[in-house]
Amino acid sequence: MLIFIIRRLVSGVTVLVALCCVTFFLLYYSGSNIAQNILGEFATSDQIAAKEHELGLDQPLIVRMLNWFGGALHGDLGTSWFTNEPVTQSLLSRLPVTLALIVTATIGIAILASGFGIAAAVKRGGVDRLLQTGAVVGQAIPEFVFAIILVTVFAIGLGWFPATSSIAPGAGGAAWIASLALPVIALVINGLTSTAQQIRSAVIGELERDYVRTLRSRGTPEPVILFKHVMRSAAPAGLTVLSLHFIGMLGGVVIIEQIFALPGMGALAVQSTTLGDTPLVMGVVVYTVVIVIIVNLLVDLANGWLNPKVRVS
């Protein structure tokens, strides 16, 4: 088990370093006018040269990259060029919003999708057909469309929710719930049907296995078969699709956070990338990759715990 974890961590770090290098390259070759953008349209060429020197933009790529990696190894991700705030501080002020959004949505998807998926697998018939249709509709309509509909109807039309975030540090729980409700619903609607579909298939697959027949022939009650045996074997499929959703949502929130003006990582990623704010973009990449690695590791561990076969292999 330990070797398994270590192996996963080593490959995770490799991915992290590789991604950082690629991002740095891309930023280097795309952001040619950073000093001009910081100083605005009235800046003279002397001013721009001075600013570039101040930010180290006049140094060659390799020096800048080594400087950044040197800092990052000591936990110093630098200071944003466009807000002058330390990158770590910017990320820490925004991470809770994004994580709250994604974790709540994932839990929502897990609960509802299990319910629908199991119901569809056990009952089949109408519930199943509804789920099948829902899965197509849910996947066909992107989450930002749901988000815009929700804002228009519930925030602007009915005025039940704030149209843009009212989250600020020190804002109470009510502000958080009010601000996150609609984005969470948008994310849940989008992820719900496909996850339920996966769970349904896995449960059906298990129900048709020989051991279920054996259990039934021994007179084991149906609920015990379903929740103790079938669910345990079907869970890895559901977990995997949930983890994919979780990781997918890290990207999806970029648009959701823009629509709801939520002060999260996605909005930060958009702002910093358009401006070419290298330190901040690199910070966002590091944090996101780390989250993805951790989630994948946790899912693998959970699968191992649920299903001994995975541990052996």
Partner 1 sequence: MKFRPLAAGIAVLTAATVALAGCAGGGGAATGGTTAGKTLTLGSLSNVTSFDPAQAHLGHLMPTYQAAYDTLILREPDGTLAPMLATKWEYNDDQTQLTLDLRDDVTFTDGAKFDAAAAKANLDHFKSANGPDANEAKSIKDVQVVDDDTVRVDLTEADPAMLYYLSQAAGFMGSPKALGTEAIKTDPVGSGPYVLDKAASVNGSQFTFTKNPKYWNKDLQKYDKVVVKILPDVTARLNAIVSGQVDAVLLDPKTAPKAEQAGLTQTKWTNDWSGLLLFDRDGKIVPALKDVKVRQAINYAFDRKTMLKEVMGGEGEVTSQVFGKSNDAYIPALDDAYPYDPAKAKQLLSEAGYPDGFSMNVPLLPGTESIMAVVKQQLADVGITIKLSSVPQTSYVSDIIAGKFPLAWFQIFQGEPWVAIRQMITTDAAYNPFHTTSDELQADIDAVQTGGDKAGELAKKVNQYVTDNAWFAPWFRVNQQYFTNAKKVKVEVQIQQAVPNLYNYSPAS
Question: What single letter denotes the amino acid at residue 155?
Answer: A
Among the listed residues 23, 37, 197, 278, the single contact to partner 1 using CB under 8 A: 37
Residues near 80 by Cβ (< 8 Å), separated by ≥ 6? 86, 87, 90, 272, 277, 279, 280
Compare residues 44 and 313 and give the one whose CB is closer to partner 1. 44
Instruction: Report whether 191 contacts 249 (CB < 8 A).
Output: yes
* 151 binds partner 1 per the rule CB under 8 A: yes
Q: Residue 158: exposed, middle, or buried by beta-carbon count in 10 A (0-12, 13-18, 19+)?
A: exposed
Stretch that binds partner 1, among 58-66, 212-220, 258-266, 292-300 (CB under 8 A): 258-266
**CB 310 to partner 1: min, Å:** 29
Minimal distance in Å, beta carbon 66 to partner 1? 24
Q: Which of 19, 65, 95, 127 binds partner 1 (CB under 8 A)?
A: 127
**The two three-digit tokens of residue 133, written as one number:** 């249709």
133 binds partner 1 (CB under 8 A): no
Question: Residue 86 in 3-state DSSP?
Answer: strand
Q: Does 170 bind partner 1 (CB under 8 A)?
A: yes
Confirm or reject binding of residue 41 to partner 1 (CB under 8 A).
Answer: yes
Q: Which of residues 228-257 bind partner 1 (CB under 8 A)?
A: none
177 binds partner 1 (CB under 8 A): yes
Let me know how many helices (H) and strands (E) the chain has, helices first: 14, 0
- Could you tell me where the beta strands, DSSP code E, fall in the chain? none
Site string for partner 1, 60-99 (x = CB under 8 A): ----------------------xxxx----x--xx-----
User: Rounded to whole angstroms, what are the CA distances from 190 to 5, 98, 115, 135, 152?
Assistant: 32, 17, 16, 9, 18
Stated as kind and residue range, the H or E segment containing 298 is helix 278-306
Question: Contact positions toward partner 1, by CB under 8 A?
Answer: 31-33, 36-44, 47, 50-51, 54, 82-85, 90, 93-94, 112, 115-116, 118-119, 123, 125-127, 130, 151, 155-156, 159-166, 168-172, 174-175, 177-178, 181, 185, 258-259, 261, 263, 267-268, 271, 274-276
